[in-house]
A and B are shown apart, each in its own frame.
Chain A
Amino acid sequence: MFTPPSDRIKGAEVSFMATCLCDAVFDDAAKCAVEVLRKFGAKVDFPQDQTCCGQPAFNSGDFASARRVIRSTMRAFSKNENPIVVPSASCAAMLFHSAAIAFRNESEAERAQVERFSKRVWEFCDYLVNALGATSVGGSYSARIAVHNSCHGRGTGTPDALKKLLLSIEGTELAEFENSDECCGFGGTFSVVFPQISAELGLAKVNAIAAVKPDVIIAADTSCLLHQKGIADKKGIHYPAMHASQFFHAAMRNGGLLK
C-alpha cells in the first residue's frame, strides 16, 4: 500500500531526519542510527531547521496544516539533494507516499517539488540494505527477538531489510508470534481519538508478543513501541522494547565495532 518510488536517489552522503518523536523523546534511537550509518560508511549531516514530517496533521485530515509543515521540512532539507534517511517507516511513508496526496490540488510546480523530494526519502533499514548494499551488521547480541513490523512498512523494503540485518548478528534468533501482521492499534492520533479500540488492539499485540517470552522486541518505528510499551507498563507486563538502530548499535558495541 505504501510503496516507495522505484527510482529513489542512492548515495553515501545523506541528510538525517530525526523525526519529531526522537527529537522529543527517543534521542537514543536517533543517536544510534547516526552512529550505525557512519559505521557503514555514510557521511551524515543534520539540517537543524527540520521539525516533523507532517503526519499528525495529515492523518487528522487537516491537509492545509500538513502542507505547511511539509513545506517547512522540504525547505530544511533544501541545501542539497542528498538521500534523506529517517529511523521511522511511518515518517518515510508519509513523505514518499502520502505527501503527494496532501499536495494533489496544488500547483504543478509544487507537486513536482514534492515528487522530487519523495525520491530522496529512505527508512533507515531499507537505506542500509537497498541503498548502501549492507548485508551484515556484524557484532553479536545473544537474544530471542520478536520483530514488530509496523503497518507503514507494508509494501516497502523495510521488513525484509530489518530481518536480514537482525539475522546477520551472531546470537540472534527470531521468535514467531501470533497475528504478527496485524495492526497494534497505535495509528497516530487514532490512539487518542479512539482510545478504547486503540488500547484493546495494543493489549492484544502486547499479549501476543509477551506470550513467546522474547528477550527483546524490535521495530523500525518508535511510534508503535511508544504505544505498546505504554500499555505493557501500565499492565505490569515485562516488555523490553527498542528501536532497530539501538539493537544494531548494541550488537556492534559487543563486537567492538562501535564504542
Chain B
Amino acid sequence: MSLQPIDSFSEKLSPSVKSAVGGASRAGTFAREKIFKDAYPEAGRVEHLRTLANEIKSADLYENLKLAVSSLEANGVKVLFASDTEDARAQILKIIRDKGAKNVVKVKSMATEEIELNHFLQAQNIDVVETDLGEFIIQLDDEKPSHIVKPAMHRKRDDIARTFERCKVASYNEDPQGITLNARKFLRKKYLAADVAVSGANFVLAREGAIVLCTNEGNSRFSMAGAKTHIALVGFEKVIPSAKELSVYLNLLARSATGQHSTIYTEFVRGAGSSKNSPEEMYLIFLDNGRSSVLSGECAEILKCIRCGACMNRCPVFRLVSGHAYRATYPGPLGIILSPLLAGKDFAKFADLPKACTLCGACADVCPSKIPLADLVLKMRDYAKRSGAKVPNDINMKPFAFLASSPRLWRLGVPLNRLANYLPLHSLGFGPLGRWFKSRTLPKFNGGKFREWFKKNG
C-alpha cells in the first residue's frame, strides 16, 4: 500500500523522536494558554489583541516599506534588495568578501535557512557558525531545523552529547546544563573572533528605521558585540509602521511561541553601534524570494505570520510527523501554505503539503495574527488541483459530484449500497477502501432507509 510522503515519514519515524516532538509541542501549547491567562485574565483581551495584530498587517505594506527604507538609510544603514535566493546569497557574499572577512557568526534566522546560506558560504571557504544553541547543535550534524522556534526539538541529550564529542566541541557530557555550558565556552571564542554577524529580524519599524530582534540566549547580543559588520536578511513583509504597533506584537510573540511574557532580550538596532565593541557598519537586505507573488495572490494573509510556531505546536499532524516530514523550510500549518507558494515554479514538488491537514482549525485558534489558516489550506488545495499537480492517493471527485448533483440517480443509487453488505469489502487491499480497512471496520450500509422511514412518517 503506497502512502503519501508525509504519511510514510510518520510511519518510519522513530518512537523516541515522535515522543520528543509530540511532548515538546504539547508543552508549548499548554505554556501558551497559561501565560495568556496570566497576562490577560479578562475575557476577550487576547482575541482583541489578535484582531489588532491582523488589522495592522492589513495596512499599506508598500508605503511602510518605502518609509522603512528611507528611515533606515537616514540612520546610516545600507539597505539592499534581493529578488531571490541567488541574489541574496551573492550580495551577502560580496559584503563578506569586500570586508576581507573569514569568520561569520549567525543569529538564528529562518530567512537565511530559506536561502541555505550556511552551505553556500562554507562552499566559499568562509567559516560560519550558528550561535543559537539549537541551531548550533543541528549545524554540527548538518541537519535542518525541525521547528521554526525550537530547531532541535527532535533531539535528545545523549545524541547531542555524542555530537559535541564527535565534533570536538567538548568531551561527552549529556547533562543539559553541561551541554549548555560547553556550548557557551566554545562559542565565546567564535564571537570574539568574528568579523561579520548575520541575523534576520523579527520586525522592522518603518518610522524609527530599526530592526527588532527577540532572543533568549544572548547570542544575538554577543554576535553583534563581536563583529564589525552586521548583515540582516529580512523578508519585506516584516515591516510594521512603528514602535507603537510593536506593542501589540511584543505582547503576542513570546507568549505564543514559548509561553514567556517576553523573550529575555529584545534588541532595537538602528544602524552601526555607538559603543565600543559594536558593529561599525550595518547592512539590511530586504528579501523577496516569492513573497511578492504570495502578496498578489489569494493566500496573502499568510504574510501576516510573525513566526511564533504556535500553529505547529498545536497541529495534530505536526505532532506526529515532526518538522522534517515537510521537506521544506517552513513546516506545520504555516508551511503547508507558505512552502509550496515560495517554491514558485517548483510548486508541484510540494503539492502534497496542503493535504497533510485534518482541517481541525485548532491552528487558527492559536495564531496571534488571526490568520484563517484552515481556509488558506483549502484555497491551497484548490490551487494545487487547478495547477494539475499530481498528488499520491488523490481521490477523483468527479464521479461523486456527478452522482451528488443528480438527485434521481442518487435516490436510486444510494440504496444499492446495501448490496455491499454481502461483499467481503474488508479484504480489499488497495484504494481508499483498502486504506480504510487497514485500521478500521465499517458499519452496515443502510442506504435509503431514512428516506423510506420519512415517506411513512412525513
Contact = CB atoms under 8 A, between A and B. Distances in A.
A and B touch in the complex (CB under 8 A): yes
Interface of A: 1-2, 18, 20, 22-27, 30-31, 34, 45-46, 48-52, 54, 56-66, 68-69, 71-72, 76, 98, 101-102, 104, 151-152, 154-155, 181-183, 185-203, 226-227, 229-231, 233-234
B320 A60 contact: no
B7 to A, nearest CB: 4
Interface stretch (B108-116, B259-267, B406-414): B406-414
B440 A230 contact: yes
Given A30-B450, A195-B436, 12 more contacts: A1-B374, A23-B447, A51-B410, A61-B383, A151-B358, A154-B362, A182-B360, A187-B357, A187-B358, A226-B442, A230-B436, A233-B441
Contact of B404 (A54, A186, A229): A54
A58 B400 CA distance: 12
Contact of A188 (B8, B359, B417, B445): B359
A195 B317 contact: no
A154 B365 contact: yes
Given A25-B443, A151-B358, A230-B440, A197 B10 contact: yes
B344 interface: no
Query: What are the 8 closest A-B residue pairs judged by CB atoms, nearest first?
Result: A61-B381, A230-B440, A187-B358, A65-B401, A1-B361, A199-B439, A183-B360, A151-B360
Interface string B425-458: 0000000110110111111111111110110011
Given A27-B453, A199-B439, A194 B356 contact: yes
Given A24-B445, A63-B385, A195 B358 contact: no
Interface of B: 1, 3-4, 6-8, 10-11, 298, 316-317, 320-321, 354-362, 364-365, 372, 374-375, 378-385, 393-395, 397-398, 400-407, 410-411, 414, 417, 432-433, 435-436, 438-451, 453-454, 457-458
Given A1-B374, A61-B382, A197-B10, A24 B358 contact: no
Contacts of A152: 359, 361
A48 B451 contact: yes
28 contacts: A1-B374, A23-B451, A24-B445, A24-B446, A51-B405, A59-B359, A61-B380, A61-B384, A63-B382, A66-B401, A68-B402, A71-B405, A76-B407, A98-B378, A101-B378, A154-B361, A154-B362, A155-B361, A188-B359, A190-B357, A193-B432, A194-B317, A196-B3, A196-B7, A201-B320, A226-B442, A230-B442, A231-B439
B358 A46 contact: no
A60 B405 CA distance: 17
A72 B400 CA distance: 13
A58 B362 CA distance: 19
Which of B364, B450, B457 gathers most chain A CB within 10 Å?
B450
**Which label, helix, strand, loop or mixed, suits the secondary structure of the B interface?**
helix
Chain A, interface SS category:
helix
Given A61-B354, A65-B397, A25 B316 contact: no
A234 B426 CA distance: 11
A23 B418 CA distance: 12
Contacts of A203: 439
A30 B451 CA distance: 10
Given A23-B448, A151-B361, A195-B439, A59 B405 contact: no
Contacts of B433: 192
A214 B311 CA distance: 31
Contact of A197 (B317, B394, B397, B443): B317
A101 B405 contact: no
A60 B394 contact: yes
Contact of B397 (A22, A60, A104, A198): A60
A61 B383 CA distance: 8
A183 B358 contact: yes
B447 A24 contact: yes
Contact of B435 (A23, A63, A102, A195): A195
Contact of B405 (A26, A63, A69, A187): A69
Residue of A34, A65, A69 with most partner-chain B CB within 10 A:
A65
B450 A18 contact: yes
Contacts of A101: 375, 378-379
Nearest to A150: B360
A26 to B, nearest CB: 7
A60 B361 contact: no
Contacts of A98: 375, 378
A201 B375 contact: no
Contact of A25 (B395, B436, B445): B445
A227 B440 contact: yes
Contacts of A69: 400-401, 404-405
A137 B449 CA distance: 26
Contact of A195 (B7, B355, B379, B384): B7
B453 to A, nearest CB: 5
B401 A200 contact: no
Contact of B398 (A20, A61, A62, A187): A62
B445 A68 contact: no
Contact of A193 (B4, B442, B443): B4
Contacts of A195: 1, 3, 7, 435-436, 438-439
Contact of A192 (B298, B317, B357, B395): B395
B443 A229 contact: yes
Given A20-B404, A56-B397, A69-B404, A62 B385 contact: yes
Contacts of B364: 1
Nearest to B389: A61
Contacts of B320: 197, 200-201
A48 B397 contact: no
Contacts of A54: 401, 404
A26 B454 CA distance: 14
Nearest to A54: B404
Contacts of A233: 440-441
A23 B414 contact: yes
Nearest to B433: A192
A45 B379 CA distance: 34
Given A57-B400, A187-B357, A234 B441 contact: yes
Contacts of A66: 397, 401
B393 A1 contact: no
A23 B412 CA distance: 12
Nearest to B321: A197
Which of A104, A190, A201, A231: most chain B CB closer than 10 A?
Answer: A190
